């Protein structure tokens, strides 16, 4: 999607997409990561990935404005209170402790900032799925993401599948949703 381009990863996590950006020939990788320990690991990893230009920000993506247009904005966001990188106050599940607060305070602003950062014709790529436990707590992550992104005016493209062992809600792999910003 962006060989030689600029990408933004709103939730860097353990660095898998950072490595993928280097292997995919991306020129510049911009990312947010609010966890201090995970951020330190990303800094160490980024020093090994020359010639990839890496710009890391230790903050939540809901608070970060990307200062340049990007070709691709992609991530796999935390699944509300399922993925706990730490208990620091910077973590979305700590800052926004209810489903509604998390959806409105983290998910919607993060997606809006990702879409704003996209250049015309750029792609938003998200790995999200709704787990049964989330539905029981009132969170429909896939449905919420689709609704928010549609309201932001992007056009959905064919869904990709990340193959995994086992199933994901009865699917043979995890969906990777792709949207395009109008040119």
CA distance linking residue 38 with residue 81, whole number of Å: 17
105 contact partners, CB below 8 Å, separation of at least 6: 62, 92, 95, 96
Q: Tens of pLDDT along the chain (183 residues)?
A: 788 999 999 999 999 999 999 999 999 999 999 999 999 999 999 999 989 999 999 999 999 999 999 999 999 888 776 666 677 777 777 788 888 998 999 999 999 999 999 999 999 999 988 666 666 677 788 999 999 999 999 999 999 998 876 555 555 678 999 999 998
Alpha helix segments (H runs only) across 12-169: 16-23, 36-46, 92-95, 99-102, 108-117, 132-136, 141-151
- Strand 118-127 relative to strand 155-162, pairing: unpaired
Q: Which two tokens stand for residue 81?
A: 């209170």
Classify 4 in phi/psi space as left (phi over 0), alpha (psi -120 to 50) or beta.
Answer: left
The reported pTM is 0.90
């Amino acid at each position: 999607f962006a060989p030689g381009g600029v990408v933004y990863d709103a939730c860097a996590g353990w660095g898998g997409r950072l490595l993928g950006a280097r292997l995919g020939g991306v020129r510049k990788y911009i990312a947010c990561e609010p966890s201090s320990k995970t951020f330190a690991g990303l800094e160490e990893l980024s020093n090994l990935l020359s010639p990839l230009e890496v710009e890391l920000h230790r903050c939540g993506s809901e608070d970060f404005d990307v200062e340049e247009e990007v070709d691709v904005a992609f991530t796999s966001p935390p699944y509300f209170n399922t993925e706990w990188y730490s208990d620091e106050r910077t973590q979305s599940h700590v800052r926004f402790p209810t489903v509604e607060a998390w959806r409105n305070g983290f998910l919607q602003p993060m997606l809006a900032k990702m879409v704003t950062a996209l250049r015309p014709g750029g792609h938003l790529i998200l790995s999200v799925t709704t787990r049964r436990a989330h539905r029981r707590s009132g969170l429909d992550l896939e449905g919420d993401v689709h609704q928010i992104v549609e309201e932001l005016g992007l056009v959905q493209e064919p869904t990709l599948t990340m193959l995994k062992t086992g199933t994901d809600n009865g699917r043979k792999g995890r969906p990777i949703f792709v949207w395009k910003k109008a040119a």
